[in-house]
Amino acid sequence: TTGTGNAIKASGNSAIVGVGFDKSDAIMNLIGDGHLLCTMAQNPDVMGSMGVEACVKALEGESLGGTVTDTGVSVLTK
């Protein structure tokens, strides 16, 4: 994502639309400067809290059922 934003910036072509994945200060700066439109970011706070909840359940002997849990994604823009 950072490479894409930097390439768009270096091209000087404001007609190129860049969209990325993940969140970092560098990516947010590229969005703020208009070199990327947005980025899709995982939700680490949700991942962490759901992970702890699963650990507690497992330690209490509960079956976790072997399911996949979607913790979602956020679209970050200016």
First to last CA, the chain: 16
Q: How far apart are CA 44 and CA 52, in angstroms?
A: 12
At 55-75, the pLDDT tens digits run 999 999 999 888 888 999 999
Q: Residue 23 has what pLDDT?
A: 93
Domain locations in the chain as residue ranges: 2-76
- Among 53, 2, 51, smallest CA distance to 30 is for 2
Q: What is the pTM of this model?
A: 0.75
Q: Which amino acid is at 10?
A: A
